[in-house]
Amino acid sequence: MADKIEQLNKFLLDQYRTQVMFSPSAVQDYKSFTSGKRQDILKLIIKQAEKGALFKPDGNANRCEGQLHDYAKIKSKNLNLRIIYKPVKLTTGIIQMDIIAIGPRDNMQVYKKAILRLHPPE
């Protein structure tokens, strides 16, 4: 997994001045998919970086609603997937995508998972 992320980040930095950071929980989400689905996830991340990882109008990211209003979503109806990330513009000008959740497009499941990770029950 670490090699794939390093390769992804090298490509994204070279091409789009973007880097990806997976939270430990997002790494577990990623690992829960088959290798084919993992490739699709990486392709979705690359496509979002290419279009612009920041929120509109500075980029092409769609903002989440409610408790996740500081986060963006990558949606794929064909793959039935959602990726939730926080776009951060670093002082170096590099855009960082902090991925917190990856999951199926199923009854808001990935959004609920992301909210729980940000605000765990006490």
pLDDT tens-digit map of 45-85: 999 999 999 999 999 999 999 999 999 999 988 889 999 99
pLDDT at res. 4:
82
Which two structure tokens, joined as six digits, stand for 110? 């990935």
Give the residue ranges of DSSP H helices in the chain. 2-16, 24-31, 35-51, 109-118
Residue 115 has pLDDT above 90, yes or no: yes
Q: Are 41 and 32 in contact (CB under 8 A)?
A: no
pLDDT at res. 3:
84
Closest CA relative to residue 118, chosen from 56, 49, 70, 55: 70
* Calpha distance 48→73 (Å, rounded): 10
pLDDT at res. 62:
93
Q: Interior CA angle at 65 toward 87 and 36, to 5°?
A: 60
Closest CA relative to residue 101, chosen from 113, 109, 88, 118: 113
Residue 44 has pLDDT above 90, yes or no: yes
- With H, G, I as helix, E, B as strand and everything else as coil, classify residue 122: coil
CATH architecture of the region 2-118: 2-Layer Sandwich (3.30)
Residue 1 has pLDDT above 70, yes or no: no
Give the total residue count for the chain: 122
pLDDT at res. 49:
97
> Tens of pLDDT along 5-35?
889 999 999 999 999 999 999 999 999 999 9
pLDDT at res. 2:
72
